[in-house]
């Protein structure tokens, strides 16, 4: 399929332009882009194309293919709009060659709309009313005749019935006509929009009377910063403040430039349009009137529209970055190291409602549940320890997974006591993120899986299973409920869902899925499958037993050739009668493997995992007209290490004994923790005190760090040093630098100073180019960003 897509009768999309735009944006050859587009249009998925169609695309990876997918949609929409605008103007009989050329050269939707503005059907504006009253000749005369005297000329155009009974009213009507005409000038719009973007500032003020209600936004009560330097999290915080009625946002220039007479942009209107306007006392009446038209054009017709457009552009940029960060964090969490097939006891901590316990076997099957009450008000510590000891012994538990929510550290202490009391019980305790566990517990899926189990106990099962295999368990939860993003409720929900779904799909297919043990939600994320096919696979498995080989997948209802092509390479069958079925080698490439096996004279079972057996062979000797060198190299790699898992080795953090609460922290302490979230301004780290600490981006390393994800990832175990603690505001400032000066002990173990990384703290509130007050440094601002985001 080509890149053309158009509903136009008179104009069609130029496929060469679409291809040219995509090629330039993605830094790839036209042939690569065209091949990838053709594959996407044929229904191929990104994981399938990235892994099994490298020859066609020249090796485009999944990251580039995802970018291509997004940009292709935008450019097709752009081209469709271009065609619609050409048809609309031509239908009005106003499409000349010059305008056609401008429209064809427009490289953005905004530029297209600027060019279309004079021809777009309008509601009945003030300018339209003035035109209907016969005032357009007056406007043209005042514009063209240097000798014109406005009041005298206007006397000949009065129209009392239309509301223009005196010269002042007539001149205002003429002003409205010219202002609308000027505001539709594409060159003026483009020039001023660009200049405002480059030199403008956004200013935030608290709405009068909202000071107390909007306390969370107090860092923005008197704030101004250049548009071009605003980071994404700050933009979203400002927009949330406006949406909640706390902040008033305005666009403008530096106060000094705003006070200039004439206003710089009013003067630019006159200059760009080459108007004979003067703004001083020596102006003629006509020059003075034209100056007023320029002021009206800027203040009434242009500035308001630019505010909407540019704040919209800021929002789009910030949302895209927030979604990117969320997606990156989600990927890290999904690809966290699995503990593997071990018996696990999951504990979902709670105080008054008790600690919910669920034991699962090495395959994730639920064995037994219980609820214990070691804390207030019952304080049945001894009974709780007896129950836990019995569960661990009875089910030969290898790992105890403790949710990291309320009462997590207290529950961890209880489990430590269990080990002290029962040294014969050999197990490891691990604190696990419980983000989204409550969402799963109340879901339809959980109800189908555990219809007889209380909702509160389902969370403990989820906690246990996500330690065994985070990916397999987390796919059961809506991605945005996993909670590793910021402002996820403020961004474009359609784009967020699309991006996160793509991440889940890429992660699942990167790891591969055991078709005989995978749940329906996990199978749904496999390339080429959907909910219906995933259910059919599970139902077939339940009715017929385990799949013995990949060929048996064709017996599943509705599992056709296309689905098999897209999915087979990602569906693994350990123990198959064909060892290749447990690998990532696609069935379509089995003939290549057979040639390799014939060459070395050994069966697949003897070769797989035995790199030595492939020594001396060259992948180039096994290529043919269908399978090129990239595919054969992948086959060699898979034979050397079949079913390789891209996830890291399982390891856990050790929280420091005796540190259970924020009040236990002392500046200077060195602790181990787990990265719980990564944002553009730094990383949040769980150090086991019920409140994550923040390592500001300036404190992540002894060198400059542009992107925190270059240093840390969600789920990573890190060593941190406590810089400052603010108990009242629940803020913990941490550092991963090795060259930190001695920390300040502000007020004892839990000082009251604002949490910020000392000398690296930069100004973040008030005027961005002035030093900020001490409590509002970079760290304090980062904490402030986190607080509103939870609302």
Report domain extents, the chain.
15-119, 344-468, 531-640, 662-760
- Span 411-427, mean pLDDT? 93
Q: What is the structure's pLDDT at 7?
A: 40
Work out the end-to-end distance of the chain between its first and last CA atoms, rounded to an integer number of angstroms.
Answer: 46
Give residue 574's Cα distance to chain centre.
35
User: pLDDT-derived band of residue 112, with 50, 70 and 90 as boundaries?
Assistant: very high
Q: What is the mean pLDDT of residues 651-659?
A: 76
**Tens of pLDDT along 340-368?**
999 999 999 999 999 999 999 999 999 99
* CB-count burial class (<10 Å; 0-12, 13-18, 19+) for 684: buried
Q: Quote the CA–CA distance of 252 and 144 in Å, as a whole number.
A: 32
pLDDT in the model for residue 10 = 56
Is residue 754 scored above 70 in pLDDT?
no
Q: What pLDDT score was predicted for residue 166? A: 95
Q: How far apart are CA 681 and CA 707, in angstroms?
A: 8
pLDDT at position 742: 61
Of 210, 272, 264, the C-alpha closest to 241 is: 210
Q: State residue 756's pLDDT score.
A: 35
Which tokens sit at 156?
């000949």
Mean pLDDT of 37-62: 96
- Cβ neighbours for 716, distance < 8 A, ≥ 6 positions apart: 332, 674, 675
Angstrom distances, CA of residue 443 to CA of 147, 473, 489, 531 = 78, 13, 20, 16
Phi first, then psi: what are they for 347, rounded to 5°? -120, 120
Average pLDDT, the chain: 89
Q: Is 152 exposed, middle or buried (0-12, 13-18, 19+ CB in 10 A)?
A: exposed
Domain 344-468: give its CATH code: 3.30.420.140
Question: Residue 290: how many CA atoms within 13 Å on its side-chain side?
Answer: 26
For the beta carbon of residue 343, count every other beta carbon within 10 angstroms: 19
| Mean pLDDT on 482-502 | 85
Position 661 confidence tier, pLDDT thresholds 50, 70, 90: confident
Per-residue confidence (pLDDT) for residue 770, from 0 to 100: 35
**Strand (E) positions, 176-270?**
201-206, 222-226, 247-252
Question: Which tens digits make up the pLDDT trace of 75-96?
Answer: 999 999 999 999 999 999 999 9
DSSP for residue 743: P
Query: Taking a C-beta distance cutoff of 8 angstroms, is the pair 689, 732 a contact?
Result: yes
At residue 488 the predicted structure's pLDDT band, cuts being 50, 70 and 90, is confident
Burial readout 594-611 (b: 16 or more C-beta within 10 A, e: otherwise): eebbeeeeeebeebbeee
Whole-number pLDDT of residue 481 = 83
pLDDT in tens, 149-175: 999 999 999 999 999 999 999 999 999
What contacts 42, CB < 8 A, 6 or more positions away?
A: 1
**pLDDT at 327 exceeding the cut of 50:** yes
Q: List pLDDT tens digits, range 182-199.
A: 999 999 999 999 999 999
Q: Judge if pTM exceeds 0.95.
A: no
- What is the Cα 58 distance to its own chain's centre? 28
Over the stretch 664-685, which tens digit does the pLDDT of each residue have? 899 999 998 888 888 888 999 9
Output the pLDDT for position 744: 52
The CATH number for 15-119, chosen from 3.30.1130.10, 1.10.1740.10, 1.20.120.160, 1.10.10.650, is 1.10.10.650
Q: Please determine, for residue 6, whether its predicted confidence score (pLDDT) is greater than 80.
A: no
* Burial class of residue 40, CB neighbours in 10 A (0-12, 13-18, 19+): middle
Residue length of the chain: 791
pLDDT above 60 (res 629): yes
Q: Averaged over 232-237, what is the pLDDT?
A: 91
Residue located via tokens 């994320």: 525
421: its two tokens: 């009391």
Q: Under CATH, what is the fold of the domain 531-640?
A: DNA polymerase; domain 1 (1.10.150)
* Mean pLDDT on 707-720: 87
Going by their DSSP bridges, the two strands 731-735 and 693-696 should be labelled as: parallel
Phi/psi of residue 461, nearest 5 degrees: -65, -45
Q: What average pLDDT does this structure show over 330-339?
A: 91
Fold of 662-760: OB fold (Dihydrolipoamide Acetyltransferase, E2P) (2.40.50)
């Amino acid at each position: 399929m080509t890149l053309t897509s158009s509903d136009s009768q008179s104009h069609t999309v130029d496929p060469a332009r679409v291809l040219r735009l995509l090629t330039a944006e993605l830094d790839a050859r036209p042939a690569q882009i065209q091949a990838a587009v053709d594959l996407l249009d044929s229904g191929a998925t990104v994981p399938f194309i990235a892994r099994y169609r490298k020859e066609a695309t020249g090796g485009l990876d999944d990251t580039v293919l995802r970018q291509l997918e997004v940009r292709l949609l935008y450019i097709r929409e752009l081209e469709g709009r271009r065609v619609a605008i050409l048809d609309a103007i031509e239908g009005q009989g106003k499409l000349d060659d010059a305008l056609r050329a401008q429209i064809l050269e427009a490289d953005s939707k905004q530029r297209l709309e600027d060019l279309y503005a004079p021809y777009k059907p309008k509601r009945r504006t003030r300018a339209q009313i003035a035109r209907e009253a016969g005032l357009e000749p007056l406007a043209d005369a005042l514009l063209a005749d240097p000798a014109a005297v406005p009041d005298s000329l206007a006397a000949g155009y009065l129209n009392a019935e239309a509301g223009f009974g005196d010269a002042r009213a007539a001149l205002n009507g003429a002003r409205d006509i010219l202002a609308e005409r000027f505001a539709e000038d594409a060159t003026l719009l483009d020039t001023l929009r660009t200049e405002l973007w480059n030199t403008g500032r956004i200013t935030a003020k608290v709405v009068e009377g909202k000071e107390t209600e909007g306390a969370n936004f107090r860092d923005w009560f008197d704030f101004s910063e250049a548009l071009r330097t605003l980071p994404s999290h700050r933009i979203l915080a400002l927009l949330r403040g406006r949406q909640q009625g706390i902040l008033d946002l305005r666009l403008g220039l530096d106060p000094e430039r705003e006070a200039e007479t004439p206003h710089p942009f009013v003067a630019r209107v006159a200059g760009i349009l080459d108007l004979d306007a003067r703004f001083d006392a020596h102006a003629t009446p006509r020059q003075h009137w034209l100056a007023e038209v320029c002021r009206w054009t800027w203040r009434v017709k242009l500035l308001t529209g630019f505010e909407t457009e540019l704040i919209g552009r800021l929002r789009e940029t910030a949302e895209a970055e927030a979604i990117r960060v969320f997606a990156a964090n989600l990927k890290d969490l999904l690809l966290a190291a699995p503990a593997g097939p071990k018996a696990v006891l999951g504990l979902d901590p709670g105080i008054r409602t008790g600690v919910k316990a669920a034991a699962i076997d090495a395959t994730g099957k639920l064995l037994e549940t219980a609820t214990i009450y070691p804390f207030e008000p019952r304080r049945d510590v001894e009974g709780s320890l007896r129950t836990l000891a019995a569960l661990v012994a009875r089910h030969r538990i290898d790992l105890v997974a403790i949710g990291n929510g309320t009462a997590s550290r207290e529950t961890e202490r209880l489990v430590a006591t269990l080990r002290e009391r029962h040294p014969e019980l050999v197990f490891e305790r691990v604190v696990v993120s419980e983000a989204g566990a409550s969402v799963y517990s109340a879901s339809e899926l959980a109800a189908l899986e555990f219809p007889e189990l209380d909702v509160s106990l389902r969370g403990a099962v989820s906690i246990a299973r996500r330690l065994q295999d985070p990916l397999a368990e987390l796919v059961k939860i809506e991605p945005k409920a996993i909670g590793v993003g910021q402002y996820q409720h403020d961004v474009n929900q359609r784009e967020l869902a699309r991006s996160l779904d793509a991440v889940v799909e890429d992660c699942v297919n990167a790891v591969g899925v055991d078709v005989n043990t995978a749940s329906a939600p996990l199978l749904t994320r496999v390339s080429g499958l959907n909910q219906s096919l995933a259910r059919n696979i599970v139902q077939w498995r339940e009715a017929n037993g385990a799949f013995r080989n990949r060929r048996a997948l064709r017996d599943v209802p509705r599992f056709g050739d296309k689905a098999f092509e897209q999915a087979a390479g990602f569906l693994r069958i350990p123990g198959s009668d064909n060892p290749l079925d447990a690998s990532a080698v696609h069935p379509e490439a089995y003939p290549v493997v057979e040639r390799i096996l014939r060459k070395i004279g050994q069966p697949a079972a003897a070769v797989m995992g035995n790199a030595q057996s492939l020594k001396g062979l060259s992948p180039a000797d096994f290529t043919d007209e269908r399978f090129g060198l990239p595919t054969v190299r992948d086959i060699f790699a898979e034979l050397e290490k079949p079913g390789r898992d891209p996830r890291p080795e399982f390891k856990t953090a050790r929280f420091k004994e005796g540190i259970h609460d924020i009040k236990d922290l002392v500046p200077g302490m060195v602790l181990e923790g787990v990265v719980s979230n990564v944002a553009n301004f730094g990383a949040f780290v769980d150090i086991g005190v019920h409140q994550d600490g923040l390592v500001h981006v300036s404190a992540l390393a002894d060198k400059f760090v542009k992107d925190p994800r270059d240093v840390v990832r969600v789920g990573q175990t890190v060593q941190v040093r406590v810089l400052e603690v603010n108990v009242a505001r629940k803020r913990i400032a941490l550092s991963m630098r090795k060259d930190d000066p001695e920390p300040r002990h502000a007020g004892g173990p839990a000082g009251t100073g604002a949490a910020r990384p000392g000398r690296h703290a930069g100004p973040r509130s008030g005027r961005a180019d002035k030093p900020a007050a001490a409590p509002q440094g970079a760290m304090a601002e980062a904490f402030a960003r986190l607080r509103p985001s939870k609302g």
